[in-house]
Amino acid sequence: MVNSRVLVAGGGGFIGGHLAKSLADQGLAVRAIDVKPMSEWYQIPEGVDAQQMDLSKIENCEAAVDGIDTVYMLAADMGGMGFIETHKAECMLSVLTSTHMLVAARDAGVGRYFYSSSACVYAADKQTESAVTALKESDAYPAMPEDGYGWEKLFTERMCRHFLEDYGLETRVARYHNVYGPLGTFEGGREKAPAALCRKIATAALGGGKEIEIWGDGEQTRSFMYIDDCVEGTQRIGAGANTEPVNLGSAELVSINQMVDIIENIAGITVERRYKLDAPLGVRGRNSDNTMIQELYGWEPSTKLADGLEQTYRWIYDELSSRSA
């Protein structure tokens, strides 16, 4: 894959920042674009050409891809379940960015185009039990994804497929499963469960009370992928020959209550759990079937949840502790 000049769209975000750093560390010329003011970027790695730009506008997409060989398209308006359940229109408006980036990449003769899709594309009727059967790639059809965010992701997957078929743009698609890790969002409404629970337990450890709120009954299940695995898998899939969407997620299924147990052990405290049964929950259970990624790449995300959570908790604890100081 020719990838000496690389664009990370959404490079000011959590995953985008880590990806841009990894690519820059490999000696590649990296351009990172994000709509957020640079003061709000998660990180700006050394040597990265960082620019604030609204990629929902076609002229900005054209400028972003100028001279670029490889695009990593991560730009989207999203967050945890508390955000996507209450901002469905905003999530779907990402289709403007998704469409304009594909058109600009096609017209600029980009060599390879990676799109970050989501496990939210999977049909809801296959995710109704906590003891869920792991989702294989074909389970996205017949289509009934998460309302709003999931529909936009599935639609853009199809666009990527047809831009490959009709125009020869070499598109690659990964379906991310619940990415977490240091330097991520842990407050403000867009955070996902691992970061939210780390924040709540760290707050308790710092003397903020021993009771924490848990959304739902805590028996809903998920798999969670550590950021280092996400970055490695993204580059493997982006450089690979496979043109179909492929799962990129951990196969380690846990309940929310089990995750609280793990974080309590890391923090060295026990908290009281108050369950908010009317909170946004999403599906009852979701896990990643990694058969395809193992067959295609001889690899799958392997960071144990306890190990990734320890790194994440320590970072969030230090962030909260420094504020108190």
Residues belonging to the active site: 149
Residue 27: exposure state from Cβ atoms within 10 A (0-12, 13-18, ≥19):
exposed
* CA atoms lying within 13 Å on the CB side of residue 11: 26
The phi and psi torsions of 141 (rounded to 5 degrees) equal: -130, 145
Longest dimension (CA), the chain: 59
Residue 214: exposure state from Cβ atoms within 10 A (0-12, 13-18, ≥19):
buried
Residue 295: exposure state from Cβ atoms within 10 A (0-12, 13-18, ≥19):
exposed
